[in-house]
A and B are shown apart, each in its own frame.
Chain A
């Protein structure tokens, strides 16, 4: 007998049924060694640390901690591979190896996306639709450059590789950042020692499996896991010719100082505090979506996050009202659920930092608004947060929070907002929303920032250079300009 259908309910809020991505097909080992010479090896340090799922606070695997001697092994392996194999290999062959990596990543895309969300806490929708496909695309893009470098540097026919690149990446886009680092380094003819972040090593270790399966010559890519001390060992190792770092400005300065006088080439992709500027003549609903994407994408763990909102006065009330309505609808919870908009905060430490800065914001007189959503009882979570009644001098306006916290200020004129937007040591990115083309070009050309999104935000592409002005770092990743950090033009 057929069930009587439920009467349609138009009065209360509808909720989504859970739509979790399955983890059945994911294979994780109990413990991972260091990937050196295409093999997972026990660390000489003998030490391991746990990596967890920040949404559940459950352990996923034990990870080897590389000590000085381990880094030394990895650098020697990379040097040998450079001298014996990679340097002399025809560039077109080098390119073919990189294409193989791209292809295997695409084949294993679902597995990589699930692990990325399990280990880092980011919504599966983002890891599935952005992190993993974009990472594969980076390898695909740079693979093609390998045998075309003479066209990238006008007037410089004899482009040479540098040698061994030491690369240190952050926890916010673990696999994507590995791709941003490894792909151009290999294409330009270098070998690599890569250190993933200590909280999110798993997809980099999966990349190690892919590199092994792609049959890259042993030692061309070595992946060593660990925390800050391991990173320092890479930076300070005399066998490293180039350092590429993505992370905080604080650590970036330490690295720049440590590299002084060594003659090592380096690129730094550091923090940001981007202005997202909404003019009264913008299409407001699109702009509101852009604001949400700008700051709540990846829980706000984005160096280019649009964390400082500037709204032109005539539309300020309207934009703030719509923004509040919109964040009321955001779904916060299980990163593996396909409906989830905001996943878990990456770590307990990061959650503590966000809470500390929000408290400072309130103590300094800011008005804090959060939606009413409930949060899971286990794991690390933070509600999307808006701050009004803040000033240029407020710490939450000046400091990078790296969480889902947006400060809102208003402005009247173009000149005023440009002045405010630039009045900060950072200069990574910015956003501008207006329907007037000439205004877009005026603002975008005067923002002192490396990436400007006009009527869009947080878009990335392998062909598009990314990197900062001022204290947001130096050098570019992506595109034609992303090659020069990995070559010697002299």
Chain B
């Protein structure tokens, strides 16, 4: 705790560069970067925005991701898709569980980050616990939703005919603005549990935990490119998220009507699935269910004649 406290103080007093209390050790402020293709690059644009605490002090310089960063992430997601979708459901389940395990081990760090952004200690702990539990919840679904939502179809002719869900593909996600950690995990988990790969634009005002979480992902056997995490401005990036021709679906979680309309219009360029998840209270258990997985699935039906 001591190191974190002193680090905070240092940042407050001018980005950690000039002053230091003689009594404490000089701490190492973290550089918050993007997470693309299993790596932590700065935005190629070189741009940033300042994140402030309640008192108006600068907490961090956050990368302001560009269209190019997004396109790189899409290329990585497309490349990662076949490997991720092909993994056995059991394996995907274990990887999601592994994310939960790794996250649990970083409890102090994540709670500190949540508090830095202004969350109270008790709220931060609640959000953290729900976040881990949500990952465990979706880890469990990885090898079950197929069974619940598949069918063997009794066709009139002599055919063996069955239908089952397959991942929609590359998904761009605009994560909720509130609950920086829980919101991100609640929308990302059903997406990757279903074998999709994704690019997530995280909360603009609460991005710290998302970057912490990227480190968790990085340490949890998730192949590079399966989840890319971008920080930046929604009003700048949303149209690219919606109109990219190699993205198969977009998930939108905000409430701005005009923005939603524009997103849906742009999604039509390639018949992109435009999914809106903005009616959930992410802290509520009703915000987790397999129908969210199914929103990002396609049903494939296969026929074969029965005979000799």
Contact = CB atoms under 8 A, between A and B. Distances in A.
B299 A450 contact: yes
Interface stretch (A119-127, A254-262, A363-371, A396-404): A254-262
Query: Which of B263, B279, B291 has the most chain A CB atoms inside 10 A of its CB?
Result: B291
Contacts of B279: 490
B298 A469 contact: yes
Nearest to A474: B273
A481 interface: yes
A268 B267 CA distance: 14
A451 B271 contact: no
Contact of B151 (A260, A479, A489, A490): A479
A484 B73 CA distance: 32
State which size class the interface on B falls in. 35 or more
- DSSP class of B's interface residues: helix, strand, loop or mixed? mixed
A459 interface: yes
Contacts of A449: 300
Interface string A454-475: 1110010101111101111110
B267 A463 contact: no
A106 to B, nearest CB: 14
B300 A155 contact: no
B299 A456 contact: no
Interface residues of A, number: 47
A456 B155 contact: no
A242 interface: no
B145 to A, nearest CB: 10
Contact of B301 (A253, A448, A466, A474): A466
B90 interface: no
B303 interface: yes
Contacts of A459: 155, 157, 159, 303
A261 B301 contact: no
Interface in B254-308: 257-258, 260-265, 267-271, 273-274, 279, 289-291, 298-305
29 contacts: A155-B290, A256-B267, A256-B274, A260-B262, A260-B263, A260-B265, A268-B271, A450-B298, A450-B300, A451-B301, A452-B303, A453-B302, A454-B303, A454-B304, A455-B304, A456-B304, A461-B153, A461-B157, A463-B153, A464-B153, A464-B163, A464-B301, A465-B301, A469-B298, A472-B271, A473-B271, A474-B273, A481-B163, A481-B299
Interface of B: 148, 151, 153-157, 159, 161, 163, 166, 168-169, 248, 257-258, 260-265, 267-271, 273-274, 279, 289-291, 298-305
- List 4 A-B pairs, minimum CB-CB distance, nearest first: A261-B261, A260-B264, A256-B268, A461-B155
